[in-house]
């Protein structure tokens, strides 16, 4: 099993603040995905990072893949209540493993 | 885009009964499907990998006689929770990969909307 540890596990912030979520592993991944999940629904893919050191932006979300392809981060600028949800990193080849998850609450 | 459906979306059953959950790829052929289990505000835990026409590969600690997986066609995989007990209550999610690339991507996992199982 390839373990992906996310931090923090829970995060509650005020609207307009910035935040960063981390995804770390001792294993090397060919790619990592970030998902957002709302209660009672399946995960929705946000982005896939493939190249070490890669940075991808999706509106107010910035994703970075570590140079060694063992870690990744998600930075949200000026968080909004609509960003509330469970954020999951994931990776793997034949099997697909999810990180431990970060539950984000953005308070209006 | 590729769509994966699950049925039922929600099921309540009595302890001791068996429940079947279906996972379908609607517009692509899914040679591989994955089954996950999720507890509230927790991450998804991979239960098993299902390959069309062959036996499923179960993760360590998952009872294969308890969670029966069948992947008889390229668009359908089923998970049957046998002799369900209250501790089996959970959110079950499936995903599918389009290895053939008919949906345009061979690496992306497409997730179903999940099935909420409650065992009384």
At residue B107, the pLDDT reads 65
- From CA B32, how far away is CA B98, in angstroms rounded? 7
**pLDDT under 50 in chain A at which residues?**
none
At residue B41, the pLDDT reads 81
- Cis amide bond preceding B17, omega within 30: no
Contact A43 B93 (CB under 8 A): yes
Residue A64 contacts B, CB cutoff 8 Å: no
Q: What distance separates the 2 farthest-apart alpha carbons in chain B?
A: 43
Percent of chain B with pLDDT over 90: 68
Cα B42 from chain centroid? 17
- From CA A44, how far away is CA B113, in angstroms rounded? 10
Residue B114 contacts A, CB cutoff 8 Å: yes
At residue A31, the pLDDT reads 87
Question: A32 has which bridge partners?
Answer: A49, A91
At residue B42, the pLDDT reads 86
Percent of chain B with pLDDT over 70: 92
Q: Give the DSSP letter of residue B88.
A: G
- Kindly report the backbone phi and psi dihedral angles of residue B62, in degrees, each rounded to the nearest multiple of 5, phi listed first: -100, 125
Contact B41 A43 (CB under 8 A): no
At residue A38, the pLDDT reads 92
Q: Which residues of A touch B41 (CB under 8 A)?
A: 86, 101, 103
A–B: how many Cβ contacts below 8 A? 51
**pLDDT under 50 in chain B at which residues?**
none
Q: What is the pLDDT of residues B9-38, one digit of tens each?
A: 999 999 999 999 999 999 888 888 999 999
At residue A108, the pLDDT reads 96
* Dihedral angle over CA of A34, A38, A43, A44, nearest 10: -70
């Amino acid at each position: 099993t390839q373990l992906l540890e996310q931090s923090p596990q829970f995060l509650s912030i005020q609207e307009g603040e910035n935040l960063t979520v981390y995804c770390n592993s001792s294993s090397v991944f060919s790619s990592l995905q970030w998902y957002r999940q709302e209660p009672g629904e399946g995960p929705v893919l946000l982005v896939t990072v493939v190249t070490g050191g890669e940075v991808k932006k999706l509106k107010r979300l910035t994703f970075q893949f570590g140079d060694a392809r063992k870690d990744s981060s998600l930075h949200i600028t000026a968080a909004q209540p609509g960003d509330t949800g469970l954020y999951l990193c994931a990776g793997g080849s034949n099997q697909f493993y999810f990180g431990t998850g970060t539950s984000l609450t953005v308070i209006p | 885009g590729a769509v994966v459906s699950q049925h039922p979306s929600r099921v309540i059953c009595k302890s001791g009964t068996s429940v079947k959950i279906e996972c379908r790829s609607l517009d692509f052929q899914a040679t591989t499907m994955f089954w996950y289990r999720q507890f509230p505000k927790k991450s998804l835990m991979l239960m098993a990998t299902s390959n069309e026409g062959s036996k499923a590969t179960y993760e360590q600690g998952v009872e294969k006689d308890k969670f029966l997986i069948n992947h008889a066609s390229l668009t359908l995989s089923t998970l049957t929770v046998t002799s369900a007990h209250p501790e089996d209550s959970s959110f079950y999610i499936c995903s599918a990969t389009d290895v053939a690339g008919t949906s345009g991507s061979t690496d992306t996992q497409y997730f179903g909307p999940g099935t909420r199982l409650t065992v009384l």
